[in-house]
Amino acid sequence: MEPGAGWKKTLLFWGLLLAVPVLVLYLLLPPLWRQLADTLRPELVAWVATHLPAGERERIRSSVASIATGWFRVVPDPAVGRIARSGVQVVEKEALVVTNNAGLRSSRPYGPKPADVFRIVCLGDSFVFGTGGPEQDRFCQQIEDFYREQQVTVGSRRIEALAVGLPSWTMRQEASYLAARIDDYAPDVIIMTSCQNDITDSSGVTEDGSLTSAWASDRREVGSGVFSNTAGLPFGGGLYSALTTDLCPTCRAYWRQGFEPVGRLGELQRARGGHLLLSAIELPARHAGFFMQLFQQHAASSGAPYLLTGYLAGKDTRLPHDGHPSRAGHWLLAVHYIRTLAELGWVPLAPAQWPDDPRRHPGGLNPPVDAAVLAAEQQRFISEHLRPAIDFRQLDTEQLPALLGGIFPETEGQLPAGQAPWASVRAGFLLQKPDGDRDATLTLDLQLPARAALYPLPLAISVNGQRLAEPVIAADRAGQAERLQLVVPQTLLAQYPAVEVLLETPRHFAGFEDQRMKSYALQAAAIE
C-alpha cells in the first residue's frame, strides 16, 4: 500500500457521508423555502405597512409604480373604468407625465377645496390630460395662470383650476367620475370638453396597466371586439366610424348613453349652486361637422350652456410629434374659455382684461343646430362609406366606417386580405338602403368553425333595432359555410337613414394564448 492511502480512503468516506445530507437538502430546501416564503410574505408586507414610516412606504410604492409596464389601473365603478396609478413618473409621447394621489396627471395632490378658493374643474379626455406636451402647457393650467397674473378673484376668493381627464376617456367616463366625487372636488365651475372620439366604448386595462382596444373595461360581456369610435380599429383604420353619427339605432343609443351621465352631473352641479359649461373641440377630421351638429343637438337639451371651440390645428398650434395642441394651441382654448366664463358672468372680468382672441374660433356659445347641414352630413357619409353589399374578405379603407364593431381579423392590426374576419359575441355593421318603397331581403354568409364550444349556436339577428330572427345552428353544421336569409319589412327600413345589422350570440371560443372571444367568421352581407 502506498504511503497516505489510508488517509485518502478516510477522506473519501467522510466526503460521501456528507454528500448524502447535502444532496437531500439540495432537493428539499427549494420547495421548503418557497413554502416558507409564501407563508412569511404576507406577514412581511403587513409588518412593512405598519412599522415603516409613511415617507418610506410612499417611496417604495412610488418606485414599484414607476417601473410598471403600464400606468393605468381599473377602478370598481364600471362607468368610470380606469384611472391612472398614483405616484407614477413616465415619459408618454415625449412628455413627462406625473400622476397624483387621485390617479390624474398633476404634480400637486388633489384634496378638499380651501375656503378661500374658487375652483374650476376642467373635465375631459386627452386634451385636458395634455397628451404630448408639458403639464404647465395645458389650457387648464394656463387658465389658472392667467387669473393669478391678472389678480382676478371671485368674491375675494383666488381661482384654481384642476385638470381631471385621461386619454381616451369617454363622455360617460368623464361625467360619471366627477358625479360620484362631486362632494370631494366641490367645483364652482365645470368645463367639460368633448371631441369626436368620446362617444363609444372605452379602452380596457390589461394586467400590466397598459391599454387595449380588444375589449371595453366597462362592457366585457359584449365580447373582444369593441364598438370603437375609430372605424375598424383592429384593422388599423383611422376614419371615425358611423357610431359618431345618428344613422342607426346603436349610433343614437351611444349618444344617449354619453349624455345621460352628463345630465346627472348637471343636476348635481346646479343643486350645489355651481355651473357646468359643455364644450366640443372641433378636430381636423372627416365628418367633424357631423359630430359638432349632433353635439349641439344633445347639448341644447341638457340644460347647460355649450361652447363650440377648437385649437385651429396648424403648424404653430399643433405638436410637431403628435396631433394634440402645443402650448399655443392650448392657449387658444384657454382664451375661448376665459372669455366665455366672463360672458356668462361666472368669473367676472372687466372687458379691458379679456385676453385677445387672435383668431376666429368655430361655433361660439350656444349656436343653433342647422338641420340642413345635418342632413347634408348624413347624405355625405352614406354616399362615401355605405354600400348595399359588403365582402368582409375584401374590405377597403372607405368601407371601414360601416363597421360598428365586434369584428376583427385573424392577424390583429391588418386588413383581412382575402380572409374572413372573426365576429365576437356582438357584431354590427351598416348597409346602404335599397331603392324603392318595398320589402328587402337580407343575406348573411358565415363560415362556421369546427369548435365544439359553439354548438348549438344561437344567433339573434336584428335590423334597425328590431329582432327579426333567432336561428339556432346545430352541431352538424360545424366547419361548414352557412347562408342566412330573411325578409326585412319596408316599414322597418324607413325608420333610419341606413340599415343596421346587429348579430348577437352567447357562444364563443378561445385558444391557449389567444384569449379573444371569437365566434363565427363573417364572409359577406347584402341587402336587396
How far is CA 473 from its chain centroid?
A: 34
Has residue 498 got a pLDDT over 90? yes
Q: Residues 335, 187: one domain?
A: yes
Q: Which amino acid is located at 12 in the chain?
A: L
Pairing outcome for strands 117-124 and 189-194 = parallel
- Helix H or strand E encompassing 429: strand 422-431
In a domain, 208, yes or no: no
Model confidence band, residue 390 (pLDDT cutoffs 50, 70, 90): very high
In a domain, 129, yes or no: yes
Q: Which amino acid is located at 318 in the chain?
A: R
pLDDT in tens, 126-140: 999 999 999 999 999
Minimum mean pLDDT among 5-14, 254-263, 371-380: which range? 5-14
Give the burial string for 364-400 (b: 16+ CB within 10 Å, else e).
ebeeeeeeeebeebbeebbeebbbeebbbbebeeebb
The 3-class secondary structure across 166-226, one letter per residue, is CCCCCHHHHHHHHHHCHHHHCCCEEEEEECCCCCCCCCEECCCCCEECCCCCCCHHHCCCC
- For cell 385676453, the residue is 355
Model confidence band, residue 333 (pLDDT cutoffs 50, 70, 90): very high
Q: Residues 139, 264: one domain?
A: yes
pLDDT in tens, 461-497: 999 999 999 999 999 999 999 999 999 999 999 999 9
For the chain, what is the domain count?
A: 2
Pairing outcome for strands 389-391 and 403-408 = unpaired
Q: Residues 513, 405: one domain?
A: yes
Has residue 45 got a pLDDT over 50? no
Model confidence band, residue 64 (pLDDT cutoffs 50, 70, 90): very low
Q: Residues 282, 395: one domain?
A: no
Model confidence band, residue 520 (pLDDT cutoffs 50, 70, 90): very high
β-partners of residue 488 are 440
In a domain, 264, yes or no: yes
Of 313, 344, 371, the last residue of a domain is 371
Minimum mean pLDDT among 279-293, 342-356, 427-441: which range? 279-293
State the average pLDDT over residues 278-282.
95
Residue 393 is classified by DSSP as G
- Residue 147 makes CB contacts below 8 A (sequence gap 6+) with 153, 158, 159, 161, 338, 347
Q: Residues 363, 426: one domain?
A: no
Q: By the 8 A CB rule, do 203 and 216 touch?
A: yes
Query: How far is 297 from 370, CA to CA, in rounded Å?
Result: 9
Model confidence band, residue 12 (pLDDT cutoffs 50, 70, 90): low
Residue 240 is classified by DSSP as B
Of 371, 403, 420, the last residue of a domain is 371
CATH number for the domain that contains residue 141? 3.40.50.1110
- What is the extent of the structural domain holding 94? 69-200+241-371
In a domain, 230, yes or no: no
Q: Residues 127, 170: one domain?
A: yes
pLDDT in tens, 145-171: 999 999 999 999 999 999 999 998 999
**What mean pLDDT is reported for the chain?**
87
Q: Residues 426, 351: one domain?
A: no
Q: Residues 364, 398: one domain?
A: no
In a domain, 394, yes or no: yes
Cα atoms in the Cβ-side hemisphere of radius 13 Å centred on 55 = 0
In a domain, 180, yes or no: yes
Of 342, 371, 400, the last residue of a domain is 371
Q: Residues 172, 313: one domain?
A: yes
pLDDT in tens, 176-192: 999 999 999 999 999 99
In a domain, 149, yes or no: yes
Q: What is the rounded end-to-end Cα distance, in angstroms, of the chain?
A: 106
Q: Which of residues 27 and 500 earns the better pLDDT score?
A: 500
Alpha-carbon torsion (414, 418, 423, 428), positive or negative: positive
Query: How far is 352 from 363, CA to CA, in rounded Å?
Result: 24
Q: Residues 348, 471: one domain?
A: no
Minimum mean pLDDT among 211-220, 231-240, 432-441, 500-509: which range? 231-240
**pTM score:** 0.84
In a domain, 151, yes or no: yes
Model confidence band, residue 39 (pLDDT cutoffs 50, 70, 90): very low
Query: How far is 169 from 201, CA to CA, in rounded Å?
Result: 9
Report residue 177 as a C-alpha cell. Answer: 367620475
Q: Residues 361, 390: one domain?
A: no
Report residue 485 as a C-alpha cell. Answer: 336569409
Q: Which of residues 349 and 286 earns the better pLDDT score?
A: 349
Query: How far is 484 from 319, CA to CA, in rounded Å?
Result: 50
- Output 455-460 pairs: Cβ under 8 A, ≥24 positions apart: 455/507, 457/505, 457/507, 457/519, 457/520, 458/505, 458/506, 458/507, 459/484, 459/503, 459/504, 459/505, 459/520, 460/503, 460/504, 460/505
Residue 130 is classified by DSSP as T
The pLDDT of residue 236: 44
